[in-house]
Amino acid sequence: MRMLRLLVIPAAAIALTVSFAASAQAQSNKVTIGKVIGGDGFHIPTYIALDKGFFKQEGLDASLVELQPRSQVAAVLSGNLDCAPIPSGGAQAALSGAKIMYIVGESLKSQWTITTRADIKKPQDLEGKTLGLGQPGGADYDEAQAVLHRFFHMDAGKDYKVISFQAEPERIAAMVNNDIQGASLSIPHAIVAEKAGLKVLLRTGDYIPRAGGTIWCSQEFVQKNPETVKKIVRAIAKAIMYFRTNKAGSIPVMEHHIGSIKNDEEAGLIWDQLHDSFGAEVPKDLFRDIFESRRLTMIAARQWPADKPLPDPEQFLARNLLDPTLKQMGYVPTNLAAPTKAD
């Protein structure tokens, strides 16, 4: 009987090990992540992770699905997309009751600019002019109007007109044709615009901090696939550390994914400005700012009671997966400079 017990114990242990292995194997290694139309600077780590094989190194079969930001949010919420790098849209969804979870950061500095025709000398010259922005609720709308409102006391609809554009290259073409006089452009597209004779009037990152491109998924996806989430975190973190120091290897990736870049020189200028702007870590203050900005927008739209406080944003972040994973892989956090302007 004693011999039987000795045989039973190892058999049970083996069965339990097999069960855990099967559970890990059952987690999805096929991942779809949203990509904005035309590409942008906020999501460069995602592009690097794909083209340089960091997703593949983690055993992930990852693909990027090109959609408008609003469509990405809807696709994740409906289960047709696994993850989206649209932090402001995710925050509004979370505050509206959607069950989502942020998993890893990308940009830790606002990369938007207000780029204009050459005859616009100062922000006040935009009075009465038409700007090309994104959709309300997107960072390419909110950050431009926030800086103009807070620092220059100019408001959309009152002091300047707005036309919403789907993609940034279209805004450049509209400025060249003088259909609009200014536009919200991310730094990669702004550099291209300068080559076309336009000018960067201001950089929003000089005025406000911003965690851009922070990737989130449905809560169900994160709960069912914690090992897959860790793999995504590692791939993005590796891509960020690669981009910090490898200019030559990053240039072809930017040319591949950011539609308005025409040559190595333009891509190199973009790298010069952005290589130290990314972080896989998600600082608590910047993460809270995403939600507070969204709460204020919802109050203005009568979608949130003005006297209702912001809930703790940390409940929407899988920090229990993010922080230990970064520590275990020896990830080096980003040394981020503070904005140079003040209210």
10-residue stretch averages of pLDDT, the chain, 343 residues long: 38 40 62 92 95 98 93 96 94 96 93 94 97 84 87 93 91 96 92 92 85 94 97 98 97 93 90 92 93 85 93 98 97 77 61
| Structural domain contains residue 230 | yes
β-pairing, 112-116 vs 199-203, is antiparallel
- What pLDDT score was predicted for residue 8? 39
Shared domain check, 294 and 220: yes
Torsion angle of alpha carbons 255, 258, 260, 265, nearest 10°?
-40
Shared domain check, 265 and 233: yes
Token pair belonging to 158: 């009152």
| Structural domain contains residue 336 | no
Whole-prediction pTM = 0.81
- What pLDDT score was predicted for residue 12? 41
Shared domain check, 93 and 136: no
Shared domain check, 99 and 60: yes
Shared domain check, 224 and 261: yes
Q: Which of 186, 206, 226 is the last residue of a domain?
A: 206
- What pLDDT score was predicted for residue 339? 64
Query: 């550390």: which residue's tokens?
Result: 241
Q: Which of 177, 206, 235 is the last residue of a domain?
A: 206
From CA 65, how far away is CA 33, in angstroms rounded?
6
CA 332, 63, 290, 90 dihedral sign is: negative
Q: Which of 157, 175, 206 is the last residue of a domain?
A: 206
Shared domain check, 324 and 182: no
Query: 């509209």: which residue's tokens?
Result: 174
| Structural domain contains residue 263 | yes
CATH code (residue 314):
3.40.190.10
- What pLDDT score was predicted for residue 321? 98
Kindly report the CA angle at 305 between 301 and 307, in degrees rounded to 5? 130
From CA 258, how far away is CA 56, in angstroms rounded?
21
From CA 146, how far away is CA 131, in angstroms rounded?
14
Shared domain check, 296 and 151: no
From CA 145, how far away is CA 142, in angstroms rounded?
5
- What pLDDT score was predicted for residue 9? 39
Edge-to-edge strand list for the sheet holding 30-35: 61-66, 30-35, 83-84, 215-218, 100-104
| Structural domain contains residue 335 | no
| Structural domain contains residue 101 | yes
Shared domain check, 218 and 118: no
Shared domain check, 161 and 122: yes
From CA 267, how far away is CA 117, in angstroms rounded?
22
Shared domain check, 252 and 228: yes
Range of the domain at 145: 112-206
From CA 188, how far away is CA 253, in angstroms rounded?
13
- What pLDDT score was predicted for residue 6? 35
Shared domain check, 163 and 71: no
β-pairing, 161-164 vs 182-186, is unpaired
Shared domain check, 223 and 86: yes
- What pLDDT score was predicted for residue 343? 55
